[in-house]
Amino acid sequence: MWTAPPMTALQQASVLRRKTRATRESSDPRVMSPVKALRLSLARAADTLFGLALTVATVEQRRIEAGEIERALGAEGLFMLLDGTGGARGALRLDLALMAGMIEVQTIGQVLPGTVRPRPATRTDAAMVAPLIDAVLAGFDVEMAAGHHHRPSGFRYGDRVEDGRALALLLPAPEFDLFRITVDLEQGTRSGRLDLLLPPAPVGPSARAAGTVTPRRAESTSDLATIALAAPAVLEVVLARLNLPLRRAMALRPGDRLNLPHDSLATAQLLAPGGQTVAEGRLGQRDGWRALRLSGPATQAAPVRDAPQPLAESPG
């Protein structure tokens, strides 16, 4: 049996750079992404249905497993089950501030400033918000129709659900794309949040074919390169390396904050699976995803710095 010789660190770095370069060259900012489609459809639906000035402030997209749904959505707000084509199911949650804004603009014609009083969401709330949700989801399909492999999902409002736990039990898919959208209503009169859960879009036949490599004996350098470039590459981004006493490290809890050096975002390092630094860049965001803009090849490993004092706990 033929076995490929192990790649040197230099060869490994070269392969990783070629993979990232190919991805960058194939990315076209003019192509409609799910994040852009949601931005446009949400603002347009609010204006068309209610004459409401809604501005999308941020959109974050990430993949979560079914077991994370309850924790990701929280316990308060309006929880809605979405029905799609072919028996597919999704979910949506409006926080109390956004839900109240949608109700106010329909009942009294304006969004009131100030804090919203906590209260349980009702079926009446869901019925009043449902037309907006249906319009947003329909608009999402329309915006995404320009995509080469997009299949209309046909999601619409199905029913109100009591809470995140009950919602998780009704969703059969093993994982979902979570879109977390923060919005401003009426030029900042109120801010709110919408969480949308959709099953991952199916991969089209041509996309599957492009990502498939037939296993066979590599008889040339080009064959080996093809196999290497098609292999998954798990990369890690390091913002900073901190030197902590063991006592402080063991005392860390969820919600604690560590003060990072001020230049951390601009000097992030990209690490290969073996821990080798292969590139440097600046950490930011693109289309709702956390992104790293590569600035050049690695120069040196990130220095280990003493953690700044004090270690602050997050506010209550």
Q: Tens digits of per-residue pLDDT, 72-101? A: 998 899 999 999 988 899 999 999 999 999
List the CATH code of the domain at 234-313. 2.30.330.10
Does residue 310 have a cis peptide bond before it, meaning omega lies within 30 degrees of 0?
yes
Q: How confident is the model at residue 274 (pLDDT cuts 50, 70, 90)?
A: low
Q: How confident is the model at residue 33 (pLDDT cuts 50, 70, 90)?
A: confident
Residue 19: pLDDT above 70? Answer: no
Residues of the chain with CATH 3.40.1550.10: 34-205
pLDDT at 308: 55
pLDDT at 292: 80
Beta-bridge mates of residue 215: none
Query: Of 125 and 297, which is predicted with more confidence?
Result: 125
pLDDT at 287: 64
pLDDT at 24: 46
Residue 227: pLDDT above 60? Answer: no
CB 76 within 8 A of CB 117: no
DSSP string, 86-149: GG-EEEEEE-HHHHHHHHHHHHTSSPPPSPPPP----HHHHHHHHHHHHHHHHHHHHHHTTSSS
pLDDT at 313: 45
Residue 129: pLDDT above 80? Answer: yes
Q: How confident is the model at residue 233 (pLDDT cuts 50, 70, 90)?
A: low
Share of the chain above pLDDT 90, in %: 34
pLDDT at 289: 64
Residue 275: pLDDT above 50? Answer: yes
pLDDT at 65: 92
DSSP helix/strand/coil, 83: strand
Residues of the chain with CATH 2.30.330.10: 234-313
Residue 108: pLDDT above 70? Answer: yes
223 token code pair: 């064959």
pLDDT at 237: 83
Residue 161: pLDDT above 90? Answer: yes
28-46 exposure pattern, b = at least 16 Cβ within 10 A, e = fewer: eeeeebbbbbbbbbbbbbb
Query: Of 146 and 261, which is predicted with more confidence?
Result: 261
Give the range among 90-94, 100-104, 124-128, 295-299 with minimum mean pLDDT.
295-299
Average the pLDDT over 116-142 and give the result. 93
Alpha-carbon span 172 to 152, nearest angstrom? 19
Average pLDDT, the chain: 78
Q: How confident is the model at residue 1 (pLDDT cuts 50, 70, 90)?
A: very low
Average the pLDDT over 180-207 and give the result. 82
The topology (CATH level 3) of 34-205 is Chemotaxis protein chec (3.40.1550)
Residue 246: pLDDT above 70? Answer: yes
Q: How confident is the model at residue 126 (pLDDT cuts 50, 70, 90)?
A: very high
pLDDT at 301: 55
DSSP helix/strand/coil, 176: strand
Q: How confident is the model at residue 214 (pLDDT cuts 50, 70, 90)?
A: very low
